[in-house]
């Protein structure tokens, strides 16, 4: 979203306080944000708050300057209205201007993202239903509303979507969705192989890299299934399969990968598991147990053997030399393999950053710069979107 021009419209609902955080999140993503408010929005949050955050003046009055709403509407690459009250939604749906927000929307050809927020009774009213049908027919993007606490202590449907969900939708619109129509499977997290009901053999993987990839793929328009051991949150468009062991990871991945365009194997799957699992907690007083190990299922090998074979992205977490990863890249049947040295601070398990070496079966490599896992995920999905259309049998 670096440098993308976003107008944030704020209408008069108590959820306007969330729009302050929304503006901050958009700015953190690199967007250039301008705010336009209705007069009633000012009853809930002050224009000066948004001005201080965005470092830009806030448009509230139509009669400032020559034509502020047309200037702002033409400037925008995307307009977000959050919260979008029943009143503001109806004015947008039926082309009724009269305030700075509605007039800016009418004066723009930018895509429109709406986050409705109102009481349940208002959301379920036939007038609102008709309004939403008109907005959907116009192919505007609508996020939410959700169920939860409402103004006045009520609980029900009509709560504004959380800012991060709105940011995700905005990124999806601005990406152009180059992976639309593609189906992508991503694995994430570290497996746990039980020793007894309490203990397990595991690893330090947090699942952050895999979850970032799944989120990026969905933002780029793909239909995404995430097979994960992690309990990190995921955006609602992602179909999530929760697993724990290597056997569960293998079964779920092989099942959902059938017919997929691309499979990204970012999970840290255990190579070995205990042959037997005690049915009770082992006691210290009984002495150290002898634990016999056996190999787990090879998830990657099962995916590579599929016919037709999807585009396969493998991961190799190494310590020190990447020579073993180079061997894997040439022997394992992946289309690309992403290797990293997890022993280097800031590049290992649980961090928000990484540094990747991309390896291909022909032995060629490409160094990707140190960056956030979100940035690496986006770079990977751009590469996948470039290479998938040229594959025989690709959808």
Catalytic option among 203, 298, 354, 395:
203
For helices 126-137 and 86-93, angle between their N-to-C axes, nearest 10 degrees: 50
Which structure tokens are listed for 193?
Answer: 């192989």
CB of 8 within 8 A of CB of 37?
no
Which residue is listed with tokens 């301008």?
34
Count CB neighbours of 236 within 10 A. Answer: 15
Does 203 qualify as catalytic in the annotation? yes
Q: How far apart are CA 202 and CA 197, in angstroms?
A: 14
CB of 197 within 8 A of CB of 280?
yes
Residue 64 makes CB contacts below 8 A (sequence gap 6+) with: none
Alpha helices for the chain (secondary structure H): 16-28, 47-54, 68-75, 86-93, 100-106, 120-124, 126-137, 163-175, 208-219, 246-256, 299-304, 323-331, 373-387
CA-to-CA dists, residue 23 to 79, 236, 248, 264, 339, angstroms: 12, 21, 41, 32, 36
Q: Which residues are catalytic?
A: 203
């Amino acid at each position: 979203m670096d440098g993308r021009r976003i107008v944030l419209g704020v209408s008069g609902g108590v959820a306007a306080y969330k729009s302050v955080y929304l503006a901050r999140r958009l700015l953190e993503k690199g967007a250039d944000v301008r705010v336009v408010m209705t007069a009633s929005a000012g009853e809930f949050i002050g224009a000066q708050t948004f001005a201080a955050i965005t470092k830009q003046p806030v448009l509230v009055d139509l009669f400032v300057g020559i034509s502020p709403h047309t200037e702002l509407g033409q400037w925008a690459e995307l307009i977000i209205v959050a919260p979008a009250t029943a009143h503001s939604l109806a004015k947008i749906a039926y082309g009724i201007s009269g305030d700075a927000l509605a007039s800016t929307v009418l004066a723009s050809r930018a895509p429109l993202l709406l986050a409705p927020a109102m009481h349940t009774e208002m959301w379920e009213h036939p007038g609102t239903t008709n309004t939403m049908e008109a907005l959907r027919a116009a192919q505007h993007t609508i996020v939410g509303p959700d169920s939860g606490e409402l103004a006045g202590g009520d609980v029900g449907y009509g709560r504004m979507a959380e800012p991060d969900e709105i940011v995700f939708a905005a990124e999806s619109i601005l990406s152009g969705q180059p992976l639309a129509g593609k189906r992508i499977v991503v694995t994430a997290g570290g497996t746990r192989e039980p020793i007894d009901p309490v203990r397990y053999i595991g690893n330090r993987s947090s699942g952050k890299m895999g979850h970032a990839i799944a989120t990026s793929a969905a933002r780029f328009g793909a239909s995404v299934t995430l097979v994960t051991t992690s309990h990190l949150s995921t955006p609602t468009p992602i179909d999530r399969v929760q697993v724990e062991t290597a056997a569960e990871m293998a079964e779920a991945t092989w099942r959902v990968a059938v017919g997929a365009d691309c499979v990204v194997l970012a999970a840290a799957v255990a190579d070995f598991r205990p042959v037997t699992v005690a049915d009770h907690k082992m006691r210290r007083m009984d002495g150290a147990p002898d634990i016999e190990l056996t190999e787990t299922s090879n998830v990657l090998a099962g995916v590579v053997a599929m016919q037709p074979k999807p585009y396969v992205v493998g991961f190799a977490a190494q310590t020190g030399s990447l020579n073993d990863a180079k061997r894997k890249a040439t022997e394992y049947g992946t289309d690309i393999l992403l290797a990293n040295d997890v022993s280097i601070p800031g590049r290992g398990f649980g961090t928000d950053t990484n540094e990747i070496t991309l390896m291909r079966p022909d032995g060629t490599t490409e160094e990707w710069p140190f960056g956030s896992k979100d940035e690496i995920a986006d770079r990977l999905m751009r590469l996948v979107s470039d290479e998938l259309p040229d594959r025989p049998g690709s959808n």
